Amino acid sequence: MSKKQVYILDTTLRDGQQSPGAGMSFEDNLAYAEIANKLKIDVLEAGFPSASNTDFEIVNQISKRMAAINSEMIISSLCQLREDQVLKTMEALEPSLAISKARIHIYVPVDPELMGASLGKLAEDKPKIIETVYRLIKIMTDKGFEVEFSPEGFSRQRHNFSFVEDVIRASVKAGATVINCPDTIGGASALEGEEYFVNKMAVHKATIDKEFPNNNVIWSMHCHNDFGLAVQNSLNGVFSGVASQIEGCINGVGERAGNAALEQCIMIIRQFGEKQLADQYYTNINIKYLKEASDFIAERMLPRQPHSPIVGGNAANHTSGGHTNAILKNPLSYQPFDPIDVGSEITFAFGPLSGSNHAQQIIVKNNYLCDDSEKVIVCQAIKDFYADRRKGVTDSELMSAYYYHRSPAKITKIKYSKGEDDSTDVKLAGEFFSEKDLVINYHGRGSALSALNEATAKYMDGLSVIDYNSKSKGISIDAICESHIIIEYKGIRYSGAADDEDIELSALKAFINAVNNAYIEDKFKLN
């Protein structure tokens, strides 16, 4: 078994930012380069220096920063088949050249349709194109730059096969050491048979290997995702033995439907290339930073779908009761790889299909009681509380439902009245400890709060009101009243808050809130 390294070229900062709305700030470009360095990306295509002064500065600053720390990562930049762009790109990459980590990626269209649209009259002069490719690449290689050449639109070269071979031959003769054969329009499929671009790559590669046996040319895959085949096409090129470099973007961002998602390519190579193929394919990527890179791009460039493979928010998130129960016993029971490997972790989203073990796990994690004997009842109570929430609830929302289930006072409506003989009546609709729709008759000085406090003392002996205050939440005559109350129970103080248009009702509600808090903490809080 032979070991074959697959080099990873990350073009998130170049091809990725060519997607509409994907451009990041100057500082974010530099910050991403630092993440790419931690990932141990082999080649970072940092941008297109000739596009603007800002793009030039981004590439130059990344080049300087990586050179300053003597990074192993090669810094690459794109340029068209124009001498002014070649000179500009060489200038941007000078710091990387000083540590022999500078690559220039130059391209020319070979797709007949693309040639006419991009090159104008030059498209009709193929010998001139070949001569220009050789001359410009020679300028770069003579200065010590590594050169990658791309015949743009390679997958749709059609009748230009001989021309493509000639232009590749000229690039290698001039010193190019990387030949990238892109599926520029994302329209290739292995179903094309002999016309499949990977098969054509193999023919070109055989010719170049025969004519330049000592050049050690790296062949590269650069696939777009218009049919959703970018990852598959990239891996086909590698696992067929033709290519040894994959180009793509984190999260698969890029033009139109995007580029090959690097995190998918890397993890597929790790899962299958290293273990299950005749030859052992591997990358040098430090996969524990994949989630960090993905999150950065999702936040700063383009949003990521929750169900994105490898790094999506749902990739290691479970809600099914059967899944949750199994995963709690064995994390790999419903995962093809350990999410910790890529810097993620298994999480659970509680929803309609979740089981009692899931609810119990969240409750206990929050340090509250949920015995095996009652977990099914508690779980159903939480589901009933969120009966209309079919998409699930957060852990904090689940705990709110748990608090409600445990609350001794589930009051839906309060009424109170005062008589002329120092009597007060308080009517509570709903549950109050073991009673329903309780009517409290209180005689003596004090407010409705005194009546409710006396009724509560039957169930929570020794409970007392320490302090409470009520204030207006606004300055108008119709302002809502907000009440805060502090009670003491078994030597511990608890607070409650509520508001209402009626000052007395706001105080009663605040008291009930405090009582529920005290009861739950005393009865169900774990040490």
Give 216-263 pLDDT, tens digit per residue: 999 999 999 999 999 999 999 999 999 999 999 999 999 999 999 999
Q: Which of 204, 191, 105, 205 is nearest to 160 (CA)?
A: 204
- Note the pLDDT of residue 473: 80
Q: Write the DSSP string, 85-129.
A: HHHHHHHHTHHHHTTT-EEEEEEEE-SHHHHHHHHGGGGG-HHHH
Instruction: Record the pTM.
Output: 0.80
Q: What is the tens place of the pLDDT at every residue in 122-140?
A: 999 999 999 999 999 999 9
Inter-CA distances, 511 with 160, 164, 294, 522, Å? 83, 82, 48, 16
CA–CA distances in Å: residue 13 to residues 3, 100, 474: 30, 21, 51
State which residues of the chain have pLDDT below 50: none
Q: What pLDDT, on a 0 to 100 scale, did the predictor assign at position 100?
A: 98
User: Position 245: which residue type?
Assistant: Q
Amino acid at residue number 163: F
Task: Starting at the earlier edge strand, list the strands of the sheet with 492-500.
Answer: 464-472, 481-489, 492-500
SS (H, E, C) 352-379: CCCCHHHHHHHHHHCCECCCCCCHHHHH
Residue 393 to residues 9, 105, 206, 334, Cα–Cα distance (Å): 40, 48, 57, 21
Per-residue confidence (pLDDT) for residue 358, from 0 to 100:
85
Query: With contact defined as beta carbons under 8 Å apart, do 432 and 426 qualify?
Result: no
Please provide residue 380's backbone torsions phi and psi, each rounded to the nearest 5 degrees. -65, -35
Edge-first strand listing for the sheet containing 409-418: 409-418, 423-432, 435-443
Phi-psi region of 223 (alpha: psi -120 to 50; beta: other; left: phi over 0): beta
